[in-house]
Amino acid sequence: MKLFIGAHLDDIEIGCGAYLSCLKKRGELEFINKRILILSEGRFNNPIDVSNKRKEAFEINMEKLGIKENEYKILSQRIDTEFYDHQHEIKHHLNELLKEAQDDEIIEVYFHSTDNHQDHQIVNKLVKEIFRPFLVNRLVEFEIPSSNLFNQPGDNFNYYLPFDKEIADMKQELIDSYENISLFTTEDARDINYTLMFNKMLGRKLNKDFCERYNIIYTDYI
């Protein structure tokens, strides 16, 4: 089972959009046992609430990828940037996800790298506490480029996924679902505009069209 864990709606598409699009293009995604867990519904601590629109954009993207409703879960009643106060509850949901996956022969976990976003840092810490190497077959961190701006290039990343223009267009289409939301915050707009530009810049450095980068913390694959 492949488990994708994101702090916010749009994190999976930004961090793993090319990987998921590659699996879909090859016709593999629909046959893979998978779960996606989003730990907040996109509410901000301000009078403007776009959580319903963000949720709608996420659900549209899951449909585009062919991911069924019973394969993803969005946790509600948590405000973005306030994960620190909800760590016990988050650990409970992560433990439930691990229990669900334990019947599978292969367990892969994809989650946030440590970056400048406080919610991402909490998710990274808790996933490492719950999904220990002896319980899973592969533990992989993905990157949210706009939250990683001040980290040194190449820090903590050891796997690069190259992809072509067709896959880039598929990823851009996923990200564009959120761009159509009105009342967008400046940070949201930055995430969207920066992601593919960063993927292209990284690809050029490696003589590829585009690249997503990951950190494989643990794997027992030969």
Residue 105: which pLDDT band, with cuts at 50, 70 and 90? confident
Write the CB contacts of 158 (distance below 8 Å, at least 6 apart in sequence): 214, 215, 216
Find the mean pLDDT for residues 51-69.
91
Q: Is the pLDDT of residue 1 over 50?
A: yes
Asked if CATH classification 3.40.50.10320 holds for the domain at 2-113+126-219, the reply, yes or no, is yes
Single pTM value for the model: 0.89
pLDDT digits (tens, 9 = 90+) for 63-104: 999 999 999 999 876 666 678 888 999 999 999 999 999 888
Residues 6+ positions from 144 with CB-CB distance below 8 Å: 11, 14, 15, 112, 113, 115, 117, 120, 191
pLDDT confidence band for 47 (50 / 70 / 90): very low
Q: What is the mean pLDDT of residues 196-206?
A: 92
Cα–Cα distance for residue pair 11/17, rounded to 1 Å: 9
When the pLDDT of each residue in the chain is averaged and rounded to a whole number, the result is: 86
Residues with Cβ within 8 Å of residue 188, at least 6 apart in sequence: 10, 178, 181
Question: Hey, what amino acid is at 52?
Answer: N
Predicted local distance difference test score (pLDDT) of residue 179: 72
Burial of 202 (0-12, 13-18, 19+ CB in 10 A): buried
Burial class (CB in 10 A: 0-12, 13-18, 19+), 105: exposed
pLDDT exceeds cutoff 70 at 181: no
Pick from 50, 48, 53, 61: which is nearest to 20 by CA? Answer: 61
